[in-house]
């Protein structure tokens, strides 16, 4: 008996059953997928869309002297965040060919996020967005449905608005405008001149600057995928000049709107946009000969957008 007991292997302190550790492993895989999807959907873009929603809501509440429903605002913002994640993860799935050709380090292109997991996330976040939006009000739900449709129109292989600069600009401009309208809807307020001027100018900025500047430095992959963007068709020099001119025109437009409306948030935002437009133009024109980072004009415009929106919101508090 002593020999038999001695020959037995010592017991391990950890369980050795086949299913051990499975819940923890599944939780880690889920966390990995969620993190990959959030990175694929570009955190700065997610925050920017929520900021547009909040700006549309608070400008409306201020101009119309409304006291918005806080729960509706929070649920609407959450719906918009989920819708943005859904749209941008779907865009990442549709951009796999171009991103890999361009050597992108994004989770999908680099293989850190599987395509099947990303497609599931697209569906889950879209459904979550519609549920949250429905609880914020039917007008917010309608805007969310429109936003999701525009997002899929941008990337869906059968129509793919992203393949041409004019259609990409139109869809992205409409998506940004819908975001401001959703914020307005969450307040259940009217379209005021202050909100209209701000939303139109900044939405045009998304369509005329961001939609064009983001393709700079990606012409090789875009051309291989058959995309006919301005940078592919006319060259990056022309695309840079277009973005620089568009920034100047939009700065003048917002300044004119601020003079017409005579409200502090719009006047402060116009001053910041003028400075930002100069920075965007400088980044665009400095890189015409291939010098500098190709994404610098896009990053400069993203910083400008953040500064303009935060300035408008700060001026609202100050006023």
Summarised one tens digit per residue, pLDDT across range 94-108 is 888 777 777 778 888
Q: At 195, is the secondary structure helix, strand, or coil?
A: helix
Q: Which two tokens stand for residue 179?
A: 């975001």
Structure token digits, residue 220: 């090789």
Q: What is the pLDDT of residue 288?
A: 62
pLDDT of 152 > 70? The answer is yes
Can you tell me the mean pLDDT for 13-30? 60
Residue 147 near residue 88 (C-beta atoms within 8 A): no
- What's the average model confidence in pLDDT over 254-283? 95
What integer pLDDT is reported at residue 194 of this predicted model? 92
Structure tokens at 259: 């003079």
Give the residue with greater pLDDT, 136 vs 228: 136
Q: 318 vs 142, which has greater pLDDT?
A: 142
Is residue 223 within 8 Å of residue 98, measured between CB atoms? Answer: no
pLDDT for residue 234 is more than 90:
no
Compute CA 61 distance to the chain's CA centroid, rounded to the nearest angstrom.
24
Q: Which residue has the higher pLDDT, 6 or 178?
A: 178
Using alpha carbons only, give the angle 177, 78, 179 rounded to the nearest 5 degrees.
Answer: 0
Segment 286-293 mean pLDDT:
62
pLDDT tier for residue 289 given thresholds of 50, 70 and 90: low
d(CA 27, CA 23): 6
| Inter-CA distances, 35 with 28, 108, 117, Å | 10, 12, 12
pLDDT surpasses 70 at 317? yes
CA distance 211 to 148: 18
CB 46 within 8 A of CB 169: no
Query: Could you tell me which of 305, 316, 269 has the C-alpha nearest to residue 58?
Result: 316
Give the model's confidence band at 2: pLDDT under 50 very low, under 70 low, under 90 confident, else very high: very low
């Amino acid at each position: 008996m002593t020999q038999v007991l001695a020959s037995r292997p010592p017991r391990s302190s950890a369980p050795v059953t086949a299913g051990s550790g499975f819940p923890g492993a599944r939780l880690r895989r889920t966390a990995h997928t969620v993190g990959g999807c959030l990175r694929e959907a570009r955190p700065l873009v997610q925050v920017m869309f929520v900021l547009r929603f909040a700006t549309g809501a608070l400008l409306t509440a201020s101009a119309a002297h409304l006291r918005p429903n806080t729960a509706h605002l929070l649920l609407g913002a959450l719906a918009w965040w989920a819708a943005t994640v859904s749209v941008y993860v779907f865009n990442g799935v549709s951009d796999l060919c171009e991103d890999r050709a361009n050597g992108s380090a994004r989770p999908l292109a680099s293989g850190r996020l599987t395509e099947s997991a990303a497609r599931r996330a697209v569906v889950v976040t879209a459904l979550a967005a519609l549920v949250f939006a429905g609880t914020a009000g039917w007008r917010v739900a309608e805007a969310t449905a429109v936003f999701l449709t525009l997002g899929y129109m941008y990337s869906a292989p059968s129509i793919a608005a992203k393949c041409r600069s004019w259609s990409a600009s139109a869809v992205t401009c409409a998506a940004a405008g819908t975001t401001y309208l959703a914020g307005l809807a969450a307040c259940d307020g009217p379209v005021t001149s202050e909100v209209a001027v701000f939303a139109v100018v900044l939405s045009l900025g998304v369509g005329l600057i961001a939609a064009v500047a983001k393709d700079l430095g990606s012409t090789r992959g875009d051309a291989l995928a058959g995309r006919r963007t301005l940078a592919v068709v006319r060259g990056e020099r022309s695309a840079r000049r277009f973005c620089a001119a568009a920034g100047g025109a939009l700065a003048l437009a917002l300044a004119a709107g601020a003079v017409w409306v005579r409200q502090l948030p719009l006047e402060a935002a116009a001053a910041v946009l003028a400075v930002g437009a100069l920075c965007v133009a400088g980044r665009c024109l400095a890189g015409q000969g291939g010098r500098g980072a190709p994404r610098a004009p896009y990053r400069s415009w993203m910083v400008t957008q953040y500064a303009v929106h935060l300035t408008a919101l700060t001026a609202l508090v100050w006023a």
